[in-house]
A = this chain, B = another copy of it.
Amino acid sequence: MPKTDRRINRTRRQLADAFIQLCLERDYEQMTLRDLTERADIGYATFFRHYSDKESLLNAILEESISTLISSVNALSDQPELMMTTLFKQLLEQPERYQMLVKTRHISHLLERVMTIGSAMFIEQFAHQLKANIPPDLAARHVIGAVINLIEWWLEPSNRIDPKRMGELINSLIMQPLKDNPALES
């Protein structure tokens, strides 16, 4: 493994931090690279030595977030509810980063990758006990989309209710209703 130059890490960290800050303060679209490099306190031309354009930096941050999240969750794919609570706890580690991904509408890219780990198993596990006449495509899309929707809601600072409770709610509002004989719980 090649050690990366400290200066490279420093520059990229400054860029990522400035990017997240500016995204939350202003708007992604109208944020210029001049704004960004000034906030990051690096030379304008230096940006292009690391990323080809603004979107490329965003994708780098996205991919890094995906790796972090997946490696903390992929061992739990057989325990959906524990996987969910673990996911929520992980999100709390760097809230600004994930709020930025909500604002730029890239959080779904991230969560689709994460959810695919769990939902593939979920679909396989429940395929034979799906409610009658529910198209499997629709079921899969509903699980992933509805969970993402609640996570986006939960990322708002005033909505950060207990991760364990969120896991229960997701199970009761989204997972169980797909089953033929839903277990009744509070």
Residues of A at the B interface (CB closer than 8 Å) are: 105, 131-135, 137-138, 141-142, 145-146, 149-150, 152-153, 159, 161, 165, 169, 172-174, 176-178, 182, 186
When distances are taken between beta carbons in the complex, the residues of chain B under 8 Å from A177 are 172-174, 176-177
CB contact between A178 and one of B105, B150, B173, B178 (< 8 Å): that residue: B173
- Give CA–CA (A176, B131) in the complex, Å: 14
Give min CB distance, A26 to chain B, whole Å.
15
When distances are taken between beta carbons in the complex, the residues of chain B under 8 Å from A135 are 161
When distances are taken between beta carbons in the complex, the residues of chain B under 8 Å from A182 are 182
When distances are taken between beta carbons in the complex, the residues of chain B under 8 Å from A142 are 146, 149-150, 153, 173
Question: Are B138 and A186 touching (Cβ within 8 A)?
Answer: no
Question: Are A186 and B133 touching (Cβ within 8 A)?
Answer: yes
When distances are taken between beta carbons in the complex, the residues of chain B under 8 Å from A145 are 145-146, 149-150, 152-153
- Give CA–CA (A54, B177) in the complex, Å: 42
Assess A149 versus B149: contact at CB under 8 Å? Given A133-B186, A172-B177, A177-B172. yes
In chain B, what residue has the closest Cβ to A149? B145
Give min CB distance, A165 to chain B, whole Å.
8
Assess A150 versus B172: contact at CB under 8 Å? Given A133-B186, A186-B132. no
4 more contacts with CB within 8 A, not counting A138-B159, A176-B177, are A131-B172, A131-B186, A137-B153, A145-B150
